[in-house]
Amino acid sequence: MTQPSVKHSTDSDLDEFARLSLDEMGELGDTTAQFEGETINVFGGIPGEQVMVRIVRYRRRRRYYISAIVTEVLEPSRHRVPTPCPYFGPCTGCQWQHIDYAHQLELKRAAIERELTKYGTLSDVDVPATLPSPEQFTYRNHARFTVRRGDLGYVNRITRRFVRVERCMLMAEGINETLGALQGRSQETSQLSVRYGIHTDDTLVQPQLESADVSVPSGQTHYRETLRGATFRIASPSFFQVNTAQAEKLTDLVRSRLQLSGEETLIDAYAGVGVFAVLLAPAVARVIAIEESAAAVKDAEINAEGISNVELRLGKTEEVLDDLKVTPDAVVLDPPRAGCHPDVLRVICRVRPETLVYVSCDPATLARDLDLLVQGEYAIEGVQPVDMFPQTHHVECVATLKPA
């Protein structure tokens, strides 16, 4: 590969620039490139492009890093499109606005396939096309803002510079309305969270703001949202999918992959506020929902009121699952980004439910866990990518397994 040419500006920031050839898509949605004999991450590029970049050298946790940000595209990819957001680049919340949406979907599919092929047991797993999101923008129901001197915005993950934003194109309109009302008036806090019910128009703002300049209610303990006709209460610390419309499609997909007859005992592990438990309860004989967050279980109790075949268990999934005196017919796993505790996978391989559906937001930990399940004599029927997060590199997956 051609060695990068480097130039230094004469301004006070001593910016350092280089011409780079971009390689494959890497971690965090950045492309990779060779610079000074090592592989670096480049924000704002597409594999195969020739670009000029600004080099960013920084130190974190006693280690030095080098990253880069594209400043000029010399030879663009055919997949490059204009970015509609004026904050793209200074804000790194979106990594892929410059990539056409069809190619975003293919990159997400390829990222999953790349993680799976790191394991010999998973090299032949089928990964079909990514299911697109109904909305490419204005889909997020949850925002976390950094606050600097009362201004709301985001922090660039590479430069660590704060970017004030007047409107975020990923956020639902209700969140942007709240952002407008709070912008410049939030000196009381350094972080601010806004959650919004797309179908209910319900809003949660945390923390509570006492200033007379603040015109919107804040400090709510929970808000409500509906999915497929069911209403869910979600407390401030509880997890809920950020893309409401795609969350409905995700639950439909999980239901179809379970192939339920109505006679099953289903375990909903890492159940959160009980979305799968509540929506799948009419299709099974019994649901046992396991969740370790007390706040989420309290929500789930309210969300499952009047549903007689849903049982809630508070505790770590690996501990509750191991103590259950029940042999499940089906299991839904929806763990956090870190994936499943190894003991959860060991219990599943021992009790051997007939159908296992694993919902994951991290291809690397999904691949790690699927490898263990295959070693435990499970066969993978497929891994379906679902785009819950357009304009970013994040992707959801639904893996379906049966005993081999």
pLDDT tens-digit readout, 337-369: 999 999 999 999 999 999 999 999 999 999 999
Stretch (H or E) spanning 6: strand 6-8
User: What value does the mean pLDDT of the chain take?
Assistant: 94
Please check whether residue 214 is in contact with residue 165, taking contact to mean a CB–CB distance below 8 angstroms: no
pLDDT tops 90 at residue 61: no
Please check whether residue 391 is in contact with residue 170, taking contact to mean a CB–CB distance below 8 angstroms: yes
For the segment 96-123, what is each residue's pLDDT rounded down to a tens digit? 999 999 999 999 999 999 999 999 999 9
Q: Which of 94, 168, 340, 361 is catalytic?
A: 361
The model's pTM is 0.93
Residue 275, helix vs strand vs coil: helix
Say how far apart CA 355 and CA 331 lie, in whole Å. Answer: 7
Query: Can you list the domains of the chain with their CATH numbers?
Result: 6-80 (2.40.50.140), 103-135+239-403 (3.40.50.150), 142-227 (no CATH)
Compute CA distances 335 → 4, 139, 146, whole Å. 42, 22, 27
pLDDT at 9: 37
Please check whether residue 371 is in contact with residue 352, taking contact to mean a CB–CB distance below 8 angstroms: no
For the segment 154-195, what is each residue's pLDDT rounded down to a tens digit? 999 999 999 999 999 999 999 999 999 999 999 999 999 999
Compute CA distances 352 → 145, 328, 355, whole Å. 44, 8, 8
Q: The dihedral of CA 165, 180, 133, 334: what is its sign?
A: positive
Read off the amino acid at residue 390.
Answer: P
Single out the residue of 121, 162, 101 nearest to residue 390, CA to CA: 101
Please check whether residue 366 is in contact with residue 101, taking contact to mean a CB–CB distance below 8 angstroms: no
Tokens of 13: 């920031």
For the segment 11-39, what is each residue's pLDDT rounded down to a tens digit? 334 679 999 999 999 989 999 999 999 99
Say how far apart CA 22 and CA 44 lie, in whole Å. Answer: 10
Stretch (H or E) spanning 181: helix 173-182
pLDDT tops 80 at residue 1: no
pLDDT at 62: 77
Please check whether residue 155 is in contact with residue 199, taking contact to mean a CB–CB distance below 8 angstroms: no
Phi-psi category of residue 179: left, alpha or beta, with phi > 0 → left and psi -120 to 50 → alpha: alpha
- Give the rounded percent of residues in the chain with a pLDDT score beyond 90: 93
Please check whether residue 320 is in contact with residue 311, taking contact to mean a CB–CB distance below 8 angstroms: no
Say how far apart CA 82 and CA 89 lie, in whole Å. Answer: 12
> Mind spelling out the 3-state secondary structure of 120-146?
HHHCCCCCCCCECCCCCCCCECEEEEE
Say how far apart CA 348 and CA 333 lie, in whole Å. Answer: 10
Compute CA distances 220 → 129, 193, 327, 383, whole Å. 40, 11, 40, 38
The torsion angles phi and psi of 290, rounded to 5 degrees, stand at -115, 130
Q: Which residue has the tokens 């001593």?
A: 14
The answer to whether 361 is a known catalytic residue is yes
